[in-house]
Structure 1
Amino acid sequence: MGNAGPRAGIGCGGLVAVLGLILVSPVGEWLIKAIGVMLLLLGGFIVITGFYYWLRGPRRGG
């Protein structure tokens, strides 16, 4: 853990354990679904803008 000492491992492990408890709870299920929906919307936005720039073609002139 470098110069952080043994308390850094205890703190990091505790944080991972708390995140694990959140993810296995009903709140975690809601959180994972919300993140999934946000990623779907973001992916759709990226695909739509990609099609827009693809169909628009390269800029001409200067």
Structure 2
Amino acid sequence: MNRKTTVITGGSSGLGLVTARHLIAAGHDIILVGRDAARTRAAANSLCAMAPAGSNLAAPKTYVADLEQ
């Protein structure tokens, strides 16, 4: 599989997190998005621990209801 960058919404739990685990293990770069910053950060930390060398993972603070961010 070619290296790709994938945006995963709802990535802090459930199907989004499972999808992120599979894709990062396959060598994809991941942008992880979730409503709860603490849960998204925890999910990103767990993904970093299992990511192959050279993988890129970003988990920006994104909550669309907060227009001030």
Fold in common (TM above 0.5)? no
TM-score, scaled relative to structure 2: 0.26
TM-score, scaled relative to structure 1: 0.28
Q: Greater helix share, 1 or 2?
A: 1
Larger Rg computed on CA atoms: 1
> Greater relative contact order (Cα 8 A, min sep 6): structure 1 or 2?
2
